[in-house]
Amino acid sequence: MALSRLSSRSNIISRPLSAAFRRSISTDTTPITIETSLPFTAHLCDPPSRSVESSTQELLSFFRTMALMRRMEIAADSLYKAKLIRGFCHLYDGQEAVAIGMEAAITKKDAIITAYRDHCIFLGRGGSLYEVFAELMGRQDGCSRGKGGSMHFYKKDSSFYGGHGIVGAQVPLGCGIAFAQKYSKEEAVTFAMYGDGAANQGQLFEALNISALWDLPSILVCENNHYGMGTAEWRAAKSPSYYKRGDYVPGLKVDGMDAFAVKQACKFAKEHALKNGPIILEMDTYRYHGHSMSDPGSTYRTRDEISGVRQERDPIERIKKLVLSHDLATEKELKDMEKEIRKEVDDAIAKAKDCPMPEPSELFTNVYVKGFGTESFGADRKEVKAALP
Amino acid sequence: MWGILRRSAVDGGGFSASSLRRTRSALVSARSYASGSKEMTVRDALNSAIDEEMSADPKVFVMGEEVGQYQGAYKITKGLLEKYGPERVYDTPITEAGFTGIGVGAAYAGLKPVVEFMTFNFSMQAIDHIINSAAKSNYMSAGQINVPIVFRGPNGAAAGVGAQHSQCYAAWYASVPGLKVLAPYSAEDARGLLKAAIRDPDPVVFLENELLYGESFPISEEALDSSFCLPIGKAKIEREGKDVTITTFSKMVGFALKAAEKLAEEGISAEVINLRSIRPLDRATINASVRKTSRLVTVEEGFPQHGVCAEICASVVEESFSYLDAPVERIAGADVPMPYAANLERLALPQVEDIVRAAKRACYRSK
């Protein structure tokens, strides 16, 4: 449980009921300091302080956005079971603190790239619920116009580069974005996210070596949820200390269920990467769902383990306790907020269900940037021919 | 039937659950021979094939992601870890380049790995080992180093899995000399071809299909026998006909058979050839068929340019030109990355009506 150092302004002993005394939820930016619940463990660097600067507004927004992410993923579960979402669907519930903490530490000029568990990262980068659900259901207003699906969300205008289906591939890609940032002198960094399953991929080490040689502002973020599909980390990695696996590259192990610890670590990593090149962050996190909707998630871990994490370490519960202990809202207000969120999600789903599927002509768009009339064909090449636009 | 009973006694003495099931089912089908044939899913066919070959040859081992404790991502290797133990069934980290290289190395040294790719899309991470380390070694070493390895897993489109998880690799792998490339359709194909592949001294790329795993097919007594093998390099005529030859492989065989039914209603008799083997390609059977029908429709799910269909068309035009009464026809996947949206995905893949339309065109029967 995080102990918060209360500033004198927030030290309210009596709790007046009138609204005038209670902080307004949306505009108050009173600074507060939150202690991370666990210390950071460092490899080849000095860990940052456990005292995280924040504000009342940030604390409340953490609650709201994480609750939104949670509700979105749970709604996606239902949509998948209703067969409105097809193919693969990898849900992020349990890991919200990583997405939210990272966003709080960076700007939209800093880039993020991740694998296929990307719905919440997309939301954090400024994507809308409607775009998420429309894409998941393969409709034309989806963020990839229905052509990508769950694993292929992108938002280039917020420097979110997807959304990748091949395990590990996003890491060299992320180092490449960092390369471009340095090349163009942008003073920005790239967070290349991957899981404990991907952590053993050779291409990570190749990209890390180059990043270190060329001082690229790459931050490798291992979201260690302890299972690569059905394989526990100790069965896949001789050394599951992923923050140390960079060897000559510094690393930090972070409590990934603590949004403030994540924020602090990402802030620290950004400062480091801009000056000294690559760094690895290992976020100790957990996913409540199985690997994907095709995986029950209970054949390789016990239900006790899952419910234990939910009880002891749930990231939203942690923020909720902080909000309550800082007297920023009452239980009822938070429940009302959750109700609003549910409605917001339901409304987005209803709107997405009404969105039409892509036009058949979209089959042939975006193969190239400009097709210059190159021929392309449908399944029956004599029946369906197109000139690429 | 007695052969099967004897075999079960030989491998380990005890009757394992699955061998007992097979024995019992063989007895049952012997008794009920007159009343109907057995059915088997492709999944069970593959599982039984691997099981029998592991039982027969201790050098055969299985390696891949989630093949052991998870029972296989698609349950193809279900029960094998329990039956054969961790020395024969290996769960790997998610590192295709590494474990494929290790598999090929083990094959160099005389073992017989069955390497699973969770889908063949991930084989691209390991393709250097498949091509350069496996396919070419026997040639480069003048016969000293043969590579008795099988690379297997689902290939091609599934349902709504998007651009990075839907590619068909038949054409790519089948273009490489030194590899054998097989593509089963039915449960009998699955059993016979996989057993042949595991016994084969050369590297075999074994292209399965996720959507076929759950499909049941009738299976003969002969195919259930543990010595059953299908020849590599021979196509099967699934349906005889005289007006047009339709060649295809894997899931498209089912579509071609449906198309043949529809064509029959309109008085067109289609001959459907299930290639089974993409490399070596059974050019003899294909050409003999075209010389009989004079018309060719080739079908595949993968990208059209430089595809399996293109090779078949070239072969037929080269060898049976004067027998052709119509231009050769190709039905293939659309020439675009696989879209996710359901309506676009349908447009990107061959449908039964596409095959029917092409066959009618070849018969000069379209409007």
Region B88-108: mean pLDDT is 98
What's the pLDDT score for residue B367? 52
> Is B98 within 8 Å of chain A by CB?
yes
What's the pLDDT score for residue A6? 44
Residue written as token pair 């419910």: A307
Of the candidates A357, A367, A380, the beta carbon closest to that of B354 is on: A380
8 Å CB contact between B354 and B324? no
8 Å CB contact between B299 and B355? yes
The band of B4, judged by pLDDT with boundaries at 50, 70 and 90, is very low
In degrees rounded to 5, what are phi and psi of residue A191? -100, 110
Burial level of A323, CB count in 10 A (0-12/13-18/19+)?
A: buried
Domains of chain B, residue spans? 39-224, 236-363
CATH number of the domain at A32-388, please?
3.40.50.970
Provide the Cα torsion A161, A162, A167, A168; round to 10°: 10
**How many Å apart are CA A331 and CA A337, to the nearest integer?**
10
Does pLDDT of B337 surpass 90? Answer: yes
8 Å CB contact between B77 and B89? yes
- Alpha-carbon distance values, B109 to A305, B50, B112, B254 (Å): 43, 21, 9, 40
Please count the other Cβ atoms lying within 10 Å of the Cβ belonging to residue A17. 7
Q: What is the pLDDT of residues B179-189, one digit of tens each?
A: 999 999 999 99
8 Å CB contact between A237 and A243? no
Angle (nearest 5°) at CA A163 between A69 and A223: 65
**How many Å apart are CA B68 and CA B85, to the nearest integer?**
9
Judge: A229–B334 Cβ closer than 8 Å, yes or no.
Answer: no
> Is B333 within 8 Å of chain A by CB?
yes
Judge: A377–B304 Cβ closer than 8 Å, yes or no.
Answer: yes
> Is A201 within 8 Å of chain B by CB?
yes
Average pLDDT, chain B: 92
In degrees rounded to 5, what are phi and psi of residue A382? -90, -15
Topology of domain B39-224, CATH:
Rossmann fold (3.40.50)
Of the candidates B165, B347, B354, the beta carbon closest to that of A360 is on: B347
Judge: A164–B164 Cβ closer than 8 Å, yes or no.
Answer: yes
Angle (nearest 5°) at CA A303 between A298 and A305: 110
Does pLDDT of B82 surpass 60? Answer: yes
The chain A residue lying nearest B161, using CA atoms, is A87
Which 353-382 residues of chain A touch chain B by CB within 8 A?
357-358, 360, 362-364, 367, 375-382
Average pLDDT, chain A: 94
How many angstroms separate the CA of residue A84 from the nearest CA in chain B?
10
Integer-rounded Cα radius of gyration of chain B: 21
How many angstroms separate the CA of residue B57 from the nearest CA in chain A?
27
pTM of the model: 0.91
In degrees rounded to 5, what are phi and psi of residue B42? -60, -40
* B353 included as an active-site residue: no
The chain B residue lying nearest A138, using CA atoms, is B341
Q: What is the pLDDT of residues A141-189, one digit of tens each?
A: 999 999 999 999 999 999 999 999 999 999 999 999 999 999 999 999 9
DSSP code, position A155: B
Fold match between domain B39-224 and domain B236-363: yes
> Is A335 within 8 Å of chain B by CB?
no
ipTM of the complex as predicted: 0.91
> Is B20 within 8 Å of chain A by CB?
no
8 Å CB contact between B359 and A375? no
The band of A27, judged by pLDDT with boundaries at 50, 70 and 90, is low
Residue written as token pair 């007159």: B34
Integer-rounded Cα radius of gyration of chain A: 22
What architecture is domain B236-363? 3-Layer(aba) Sandwich (3.40)
Query: Percent of chain A, pLDDT > 90?
Result: 93
Judge: A148–B163 Cβ closer than 8 Å, yes or no.
Answer: yes
Does pLDDT of A194 surpass 80? Answer: yes
How many angstroms separate the CA of residue B28 from the nearest CA in chain A?
34
Q: What is the pLDDT of residues B10-55, one digit of tens each?
A: 333 343 444 444 444 444 444 444 446 799 999 999 999 999 999 9
| Residue to test with chain A: of B335, B364, B367, most A Cβ within 10 A | B335
Does pLDDT of A387 surpass 90? Answer: yes
The band of A20, judged by pLDDT with boundaries at 50, 70 and 90, is very low
Which 59-98 residues of chain A touch chain B by CB within 8 A?
86-88
Of the candidates A86, A299, A383, the beta carbon closest to that of B342 is on: A86
Catalytic residue among B66, B165, B221, B319: B165
In degrees rounded to 5, what are phi and psi of residue A75? -65, -35
Judge: A379–B336 Cβ closer than 8 Å, yes or no.
Answer: no
Q: What is the pLDDT of residues A33-74, one digit of tens each?
A: 999 999 999 999 999 999 999 999 999 999 999 999 999 999
Domains of chain A, residue spans? 32-388
- Alpha-carbon distance values, A84 to A116, A131, A266 (Å): 18, 15, 36
Question: Would you list the DSSP string of B121-158?
Answer: GGGGGGHHIIIIIIITHHHHTTTS-----EEEEE-S--
> Is B101 within 8 Å of chain A by CB?
no
E strand map for A65-195:
111-113, 190-195
* B129 included as an active-site residue: no
Judge: B339–A358 Cβ closer than 8 Å, yes or no.
Answer: yes
**How many Å apart are CA A216 and CA B211, to the nearest integer?**
44
Which 168-197 residues of chain B touch chain A by CB within 8 A?
none
Partners of A116 in beta bridges: none
